[in-house]
Amino acid sequence: MYFWVPVPTGEASAEFTQRILEETGVVVLPGSALGAAGEGFFRIALTQDEARLDEAMERLTRVG
């Protein structure tokens, strides 16, 4: 299952997801990697166990 999340206004999805990786160590996919319609979003794959997903979500709340 995947969860699509909008990126902050004015940011490109590729740059925002790179910042997420650098600041949190969490890997997410920029929407632009899946075509022009995906720009403005990033995709989270819900493929880990619940504890690991909880940790990732906690880290994502700290993106500045």
Checking if the pLDDT of 64 tops 80, the result is: no
In three-state secondary structure terms, 25 is coil
* Residue 14 confidence (pLDDT): 98
Contact 44, 64 (CB under 8 A): no
What CATH class has 2-60? alpha beta
3-class DSSP assignment, residue 43: strand
pLDDT on residue 2: 95
**Domain ranges within the chain, ordered by starting residue:** 2-60
Share of the chain above pLDDT 90, in %: 97
Band the pLDDT of 35: cuts 50, 70, 90. Answer: very high
- What pLDDT, on the 0 to 100 scale, is given for residue 22? 96
Instruction: Match 């319609």 to its residue by tokens.
Output: 37
Q: How confident is the model at residue 27 (pLDDT cuts 50, 70, 90)?
A: very high
pTM for this entry: 0.87
